[in-house]
Structure 1
Amino acid sequence: MIVNILDEGHPENRMFLKLYDRRFSERLRDTFRTNPWTKDFEKEYINAVKTGAIREFLDKLHPIHSFEREAEEDWNDGEVEAFLCDQVRQIFDAETAVYDRLRDIQGEMVPRLIARVKLAISLPDDGNSSSHDHITPVTRDEVAEQLDIKGVLLQYIDGFILSQMTVRAPRSDWQSIVDQAVAVVHAVGDRDILNEDVGPENFLIRPDGYGSYQVLMIDLGHARLRRQNESDHAWYNAKLAQGEDIAVGGAMRKRLAKYEGFELRFEVSERYRKLVGLNDDE
């Protein structure tokens, strides 16, 4: 969502607002095969927030790894919404942590993170919520944590995504644009980040008006930092298995193969194969 900041003294009035809102996250709902959001779902969720049932549900969800798998089919609509809320919070936490790690290349290879924001949602007082004697009433902070919608203000990039390159940029620039995208993947990885959602749709291309382009990676919610106790061997294997550069360079080479007379030059990095100790024929 593009927004304008009503502050004459702010150097960049136009920004991109990204809200982590379970209600309208079609991709998240498709991933977990849940139904589209409805007002009835929201009523059940809000009622469960009021009674404290959501807190009890999340207390079971987090420490018991098998709880999600074993109990998912028995969840009511309010619990499904609570699960989705928990998922988008994890995406928010992951994305902001990655942006913090990439502070030195913000504005160059990823958009600048300008601010974390919160959309406060008031708890309706309809007088009809049920209560359970065995559940302690929730605090105002707990209600806010379960209802408020987190978000980020990002630098607005006026451009197009990499998958649109063939209709937005001349053929003579395709190679250099893809090369930049692969270089961004490597730069992000060099900062101990593993991105599980890399592809042509995750890169913005900004023309500078003089025949050159800036390539920036976006949508970092499915990336993670290297864990504190993650061994070199485990990390190298994770990076090798993910194949982030292939997800961009390889994907674009396949897409561009249909254009007669053009062949994208792309070589898979051997860095993590060598670090893991694999030979070329393995």
Structure 2
Amino acid sequence: MVLKPFDGRFATELRKAEKLRPWTSDIETHYHQFVLDGGASDFITELNNNNNNNNGDIAQQCETWNTSQDEAYLHDYLSDLNETEVQVYDALRDLQRHDVRQLVACVKMQGFSLTDPKPVSELIDVSGILLQFIKGFPLSDIAHYTQREQWQSICEETIQILHRIGDRGVLNEDVQTRSFIVQKDTARSENGY
């Protein structure tokens, strides 16, 4: 199985895309204090109210945020991503285990304050999903693992999977070859994929 945590400490690409500072233990300490003081909850409530009322662009707002506000925003954003991904897996239930990984479980890892060993807040908890492990290779590495004669059929099957996903109302706005795992088809010949 594969655990996919929606944890801001390891969201390096998302931090770059959102122009947020890289994670440090000092930033985490300040964020935990922000949560304990109630500031994070108030900030997220205000942020969500502003977004629901279309009061400004997030990119414009975040230029004035401090690191604790950045972390609160990121936690809220990742929580939304986790919720969306669970909804997508639910919509693709009939494709799981064949065309897409099976969603085995939703998990929540309770967060603890750096200064207090008891559970603190859902704003420190980390949500995640436990997924089926698929033995294979990323489609982006097709040239390293298969012969050129197999590329066409593998790519055509990938396109068919995308169509089946789309037929269930799911639009993947981030189609990347590294996101597809090619596995050996045991029903085919010894070298079939």
Regarding TM over 0.5, the answer is yes
Structure 2 letter corresponding to 1:145: E
CA gap of 1:67–1:174, structure 2 versus 1, over 3 A, is closer
Could you say which residue in structure 1 is the equivalent of 2:129? 152
Q: SS where residue 193 of structure 1 aligns?
A: coil
Larger radius of gyration between Structure 1 and Structure 2:
1
Query: Is it true that 1:64 corresponds to 2:50 in the alignment?
Result: yes
What is the Cα deviation at residue 144 of structure 1? Answer: 2.9
d(CA) in 1 for partners of 2:136, 2:122: 35
Q: Deviations over 1:224-276 (max 9, x none)?
A: xxxxxxxxxxxxxxxxxxxxxxxxxxxxxxxxxxxxxxxxxxxxxxxxxxxxx
Conserved? CA contact 2:108–2:128, under 8 Å: yes
d(CA) in 2 for partners of 1:41, 1:152: 25
Q: Deviations over 1:90-124 (max 9, x none)?
A: 11111111001100010011000000111111124
Structure 2 letter corresponding to 1:34: L
Query: Is it true that 1:36 corresponds to 2:22 in the alignment?
Result: yes
Could you say which residue in structure 1 is the equivalent of 2:158? 181
Task: Kindly report which structure 2 residues correspond to 1:49-88, keeping only aligned pairs within 5 A, or say none.
Answer: 49-65=35-51, 66=56, 68-88=58-78
Could you say which residue in structure 2 is the equivalent of 1:98? 88
Gaps of 5+ in 2: none
Equivalent pairs counted in the alignment come to 185
Query: Is it true that 1:116 corresponds to 2:100 in the alignment?
Result: no
Structure 1 letter corresponding to 2:131: L
Could you say which residue in structure 2 is the equivalent of 1:269? none
Conserved? CA contact 2:111–2:121, under 8 Å: yes
Conserved? CA contact 2:138–2:180, under 8 Å: yes
Task: Kindly report which structure 2 residues correspond to 1:205-216, keeping only aligned pairs within 5 A, or say none.
Answer: 205-208=182-185, 210-213=190-193
Structure 2 letter corresponding to 1:22: G
d(CA) in 1 for partners of 2:182, 2:91: 22
d(CA) in 2 for partners of 1:47, 1:163: 42
Task: Kindly report which structure 2 residues correspond to 1:1-282, keeping only aligned pairs within 5 A, or say none.
Answer: 15-65=1-51, 66=56, 68-125=58-115, 143-208=120-185, 210-213=190-193
d(CA) in 2 for partners of 1:67, 1:144: 28
d(CA) in 2 for partners of 1:33, 1:74: 12
Measured on the aligned residues, the alpha-carbon RMSD in Å equals: 1.7
What is the Cα deviation at residue 172 of structure 1? Answer: 1.2
Structure 2 letter corresponding to 1:62: N
Q: Using structure 2 for the length normalisation, give the TM-score.
A: 0.90
Could you say which residue in structure 2 is the equivalent of 1:134? none
CA gap of 1:71–1:155, structure 2 versus 1, over 3 A, is same
Q: Using structure 1 for the length normalisation, give the TM-score.
A: 0.63
What is the Cα deviation at residue 67 of structure 1? Answer: 6.2
Q: SS where residue 146 of structure 1 aligns?
A: coil
